[in-house]
Structure 1
Amino acid sequence: MRIINRNTLKQRPSEIVSPHDSIPAQGPRVITITSGKGGVGKTNLAVNLSIALAGEGQRVILFDADLGMANVEVLLGMTPALTLYDHLFKNIPISDILLPGPGGIKIISGGAGFLELANLSTKQRTKLLNGIEILNSMADFVMIDTGAGISKDVLAFCAAADEMQMVITPEPTSLTDAYSLIKVMDRFKLHKEVGLVINQARSNVESSEPVHRLINLADRYLTIRLKHLGSIPWDQSVVRAVKNQTPFYLAKPQSSASAAVKRIATVMLNKSKPVDAEGGLRGFISKLTRLFK
């Protein structure tokens, strides 16, 4: 592990998913990347997609918001010296907790800082929102790597973001868990649309059939719209890159997996920011604070 230092609920879903702060639309697109179950490559997509967007000239900040595992740092072999907690409680400027990441991205480790959002005083909350204004001017995209499943924390991150992407694999358990999370999104009207990314597909059938199955179920039983953003094929270079704690998009830029991620980035760039977005990163943090309470 390398240490990077810039200086050398139990609540019901209905109780946690209805925040509406009145904030004017501004700032970067805030996108959560989540999954119904673990082990589907969610963090790998978050890291490599962030790098792909940066390669297209976008300013990208990646938040590690998996409160239990800190998988972004593990995937990249990083041990952050400073986290969001240090900004909230140790008077560290928010710009100092930005870690320089691979491919030109910036990384913020949320850690215990996110867990403390529910306990912030008015002064601390104002300080955080003022700090967030700095980040708002530094990013075009803010990518949020969440945990997996339907926990209160995951739902809160999904509800607070402008957009939501869900990673699935062709495995039946992945599809079942993904549909369960999509139903919650629909039940509480958290999003009108969810982007789907198929990972580890070993054939054209595995690239398309699971998405069609989920889309058909949603069209039949739900009001939420599912959009297929792209499919990432199973690629041995991805396995090697994970073992080496290196993003495959940089290690093997000509691989089939890297090409697929670049196509997904292009799809994202061709989509405008949602017109009902509430304030970019500032809106995200404001809503998240209310949800965690």
Structure 2
Amino acid sequence: MSDQAEKLRKLVVDLNGGPYATGSLKPEKRARVITVTSGKGGVGKTNITVNLAIALSRLGLRVVILDVDFGLANIDLLFGITPKYTLLDLIREEKSIFEVLTDGPNNIKFLSGGSGVEELISLDRRKLRKFVSNISLLDKLYDVILIDTGAGLSQNVMSFIMAADEIILVTTPEPTSITDAYALVKMVSRRDRRKVIRVLVNKAETVREAEEVAKKLTVVSEKFLSLKLNKLGYILYDEIIIKSVKQQKPFCLSYPRSQAARNVFALAEALMYDSKGAEVELGAKGFIQRVLSFFGA
């Protein structure tokens, strides 16, 4: 771990403007924090997170994934990579932020959540400050932080949703999926109507079906909740997605010319060039501080 320790020392010097500062890391830089979530399980949320990370990386962005689906953390399974350490190792001060980040494909990094929430909120103030300081380093190292949450409306999930700058809400054409997605939007609207929510329709049979689902959700949300949703796009049903999961390799890598991969690359471009995405308020540090405040820590 000597190389990682050296990176950490150099980073601290850079942030403090020391004699070896390169000027490439700006103290005020904040990463764009995007939570990927869904009202119910089985909609492909985690698979989308993994492949979207690859697509954003292909566009030249530095991307890290935080897997905070503490019950069913499976980013590592989709990558086919077993992480040595998890968020718990960082919380317990046994490893640094550099050591707990696992290398993924295309220069992506990911951090497995493990079962860290309960332990996180019970930390004393000194350990909390150190933890926040560690997480805040992600602002300097990455452009985009994708937060893969659990599905549903639990307190844990809603805390990570409300703490992010932006939300990607994944739904499918199934009536139960649309209903649960609307329930999540309703929960968000009660807490903050200014939250940027982008609707992504997955597993649609046709473009028309995807557009109808997105329209239905946006119209109902604006009419009854006074909350305007943004349509991010869609991923059409593609059998190669199932194949790639079995192979434990993201389809954007194993089948880059497939329909699903083309859809994801289009989503990444739409996300990158959306003007609203440029309004980064919190960054990694603000995100984790807000999460902790929701838990009363």
SS in 2 for 1:58: coil
Q: Which has the higher contact order (CA 8 A, sep 6+)?
A: 1
Structure showing the higher helix proportion among its residues: 2
Decide whether aligned partners of structure 1 residues 68 and 281 sit closer, same or farther in structure 2, where only a CA change above 3 A counts: same
**Which of residues 156, 162, 166 is equivalent to 1:163?**
166
Matched, 1:137 2:140: yes
SS of the counterpart of 2:141?
Answer: coil
Question: Within 2, Cα distance between the matches of 1:201 and 1:151?
Answer: 27
Higher strand content, 1 or 2: 1
The counterpart of 2:291, out of the listed 284, 288, 291, is: 288
Answer whether contact 1:29 1:273 (CA < 8 A) is retained: no
Task: Report how far residue 134 of structure 1 moved.
Answer: 2.0
- Please give the residue correspondences for 1:43-192 in structure 2 after superposition, counting only pairs within 5 Å: 43-189=46-192, 191-192=194-195
8 Å contact 2:31–2:284 — kept in the other structure?
Answer: yes
Contact 1:195 1:228 in 2 (8 A): yes
Q: Does 1:213 align with 2:194?
A: no
Q: Deviation digits for residues 26-45 of structure 1, max 9, x if unmatched?
A: 41000000000100000000
Per the alignment, residue 18 of structure 1 pairs with: none
The gaps in structure 1 that reach 5 residues or longer are: 1-5, 8-23
- Larger Rg belongs to: 2
Counterparts of 2:248 and 2:200, CA distance in 1: 22
Letter in 2 for 1:225: K
2:163 maps to a residue whose letter is A
Q: Structure 2: how far apart are the matches of 1:36 and 1:208?
A: 19
| Structure 2 residue identity aligned to 1:96 | E
Q: CA deviation at 1:193?
A: 2.6
1:114 positional shift: 3.1
Q: Is the 8 A contact 1:192 1:225 kept in 2?
A: no
- The letter for the 1-side match of 2:150 is G
Q: Name the counterpart of 2:269.
A: 266
Aligned-residue Cα RMSD (Å) equals: 1.9
Q: 1:94 to 1:77 in 2, by over 3 A?
A: same
Structure 2 unaligned spans of 5+: 6-26
C-alpha distance in 1 between matches for 2:194 and 2:203: 26
1:81 aligns to what SS in structure 2? coil
TM, length-normalised to structure 1: 0.88
Assess if the C-alpha contact under 8 Å between 2:31 and 2:143 holds in 1: yes
Deviation at 1:116, TM superposition (A): 2.1
Which deviates the most, 270-279 or 50-59?
A: 270-279
Q: Report whether the alignment pairs 1:225 with 2:228.
A: yes
TM-score (norm 2): 0.87
Match of 1:17 in 2: none
- Residue 203 (1) aligns with residue 202 (2): no
- Indicate yes or no: 2:214 matched with 1:242: no
SS at match of 1:194: strand
Cα distance change, pair 274–260 in 1 and its aligned pair in 2 (3 A): closer
1:110 CA displacement: 1.5
